[in-house]
Amino acid sequence: MNIVMKKNKKCLLVTFDFTQRGRSATSFAAGVLMSACKHNKHYGDKFTANHLSIEMNKSKAQNLSADEVADKINQQYSLEELNGLAIGCYVWNTDLIEPLIQQCRKKGFKGNIILGGYQIHESTCKTLYPNGDIYLPSYGEVSLPEAFMQDKLLHKLTLTNKVDFDLRYSPYLNGTIELDDNQSMIHWETQRGCFYTCSFCAHRDVTNNKVHDFSLDIIKKELRLFKDKNVQRINVLDPIFRKGRRSYEILEYAIEIELQAELIFQVRFEDINERLIGLFSKLNSHLEFGLQTAIKAESVVINRRNNISRVSSAIAMLQKKNMSFEVSLIYGLPTQTLDSFSQSIHFLQDRGVSNIKAFPLMLLEGTQLLEDRELYGIKEGYIDDSGILHVIESESFTNKEWLAMSELAKVLTHHEVPECLS
């Protein structure tokens, strides 16, 4: 009797990563996915996977060619020998995806093209990237290994496997992401997803606004590892690090082990209370607040309703504790004007906030604001050499007024007060 042995599929994950000094060679997102692949029960039997990072920077992004990327893949892994090719799709490389698929096919790739990342949404992915074979519109820890194990498909496939975060494997604890002694900076998460439904943000679309808390036991082991490795800076990727028993326990453990790393948290002003700020103050913490706008009408339009009185009281509490914090605004919002953007800046400066940053609005795939762009007469354009489209005009502001907002934002970045706001 002849036994037909199924081929162990050779697969590759390709990500496009903006380089950051001091960061690990493997990006956090890639580390999470590779960790999940290597702990899959069929790894080494039905499939194996490698990771290739394409380094990006703003000056190179718009000029990066599909042929150049395909050549790099082919030189390191031989496209003809690969069975599965997974490509990360982001706002900064979206125009590159279709030409890259064509170049990989041209150079001999005959397997499945697997597309995942923030640009992949079930309702639009096949239109946006028609030459993909498998689409992963949700978290990829389960769906990516399954996609890698698929035989060559005749029809397109969308995988939306649910992830059991109780079974999460830490890429730091298992060595998928290697840490050097005195590592300058790492990314880390304690949860996945966001409760809020801001219309400009992509976090909310991945799992219908659910938030998945990670095992506290794993989190504590990771913090102990970061302590032992003397990691210098930890960027916490949680969309919002909220008040509550679980957050308090995480902070209390970091205090208990005398963690020295600078911890960067994204927080909402409405969550600031005496207990939370007391714990933050016992660590080397820096807090980032995304206020986005101080104008009520604008906050309603973007479904980011701010409680301005609580924002003011939280700022006072932070200053009383001498906390390190910054506040970010967005310019280019629907119904916003040059004058209202100036008012948002004034609101913060009048309360003694000196570290203010302002960012231009992007319309991200799958967001409500992208769907509503015609409602507000939104127009997009390229504002630099990053290759990323930004909002540059709408019914409430001209392009000339947007440029004036951009100039105000640049001055804020340098912590100077422009004459028009002094």
Q: What is the pLDDT of residues 252-297, one digit of tens each?
A: 999 999 999 999 999 999 999 999 999 999 999 999 999 999 999 9
Look up residue 355 and give its DSSP letter: -
Structural domain contains residue 3: no
Residue ending a domain, among 128, 158, 188, is 158
Q: Angle between the 140-148 and 28-38 helix axes, to the nearest 10 degrees?
A: 60
- Give the 3-state secondary structure of 139-181: CHHHHHHHHHCCCCCCCCEECCCCCCHHHCCCCCCCCCCCCCC
Domain CATH for 385: 3.20.20.70
Question: Measured between alpha carbons, how far is 182 from 260 in angstroms, rounded to an integer?
Answer: 11
Q: Note whether 189 and 138 are same-domain residues.
A: no
Name the average pLDDT for the chain: 90
Domain CATH for 35: 3.40.50.280
Structural domain contains residue 1: no
Q: Note whether 259 and 198 are same-domain residues.
A: yes
Structural domain contains residue 164: no
Look up residue 394 and give its DSSP letter: B
Question: Is residue 211 within 8 Å of residue 164, measured between CB atoms?
Answer: no
Contacts of 7 (CB under 8 A, 6+ apart): 83
Going by pLDDT thresholds of 50, 70 and 90, the confidence category of residue 50 is: very high
Structural domain contains residue 186: yes
Structural domain contains residue 226: yes
Provide DSSP, 227-279. Answer: HHTT-SEEEE--S----SHHHHHHHHHHHHTT--SEEEEEE-GGG--HHHHHH
Q: Note whether 319 and 183 are same-domain residues.
A: yes
Ramachandran class of 209: left when φ > 0, alpha when ψ lies in -120 to 50, beta otherwise: left
- pLDDT per position as a tens digit, 332-376: 999 999 999 999 999 999 999 999 999 999 999 888 999 999 999
Host domain of residue 209: 179-421
- pLDDT per position as a tens digit, 69-112: 999 999 999 999 999 999 999 988 999 999 999 999 999 999 99
Q: Note whether 196 and 105 are same-domain residues.
A: no
Question: Is residue 331 within 8 Å of residue 409, measured between CB atoms?
Answer: yes
Q: Note whether 212 and 277 are same-domain residues.
A: yes
Q: Note whether 28 and 57 are same-domain residues.
A: yes
Percentage with pLDDT > 70 across the chain? 91
What is the domain count for the chain? 2
User: Which pair of tokens denotes residue 339?
Assistant: 């004058």
Q: Note whether 22 and 145 are same-domain residues.
A: yes
pTM here is 0.90
Structural domain contains residue 170: no
Pick the closest to residue 98 from 71, 61, 125 (CA basis): 125
Q: Note whether 111 and 259 are same-domain residues.
A: no
Q: Note whether 222 and 310 are same-domain residues.
A: yes
Residue 418 has pLDDT above 60, yes or no: no
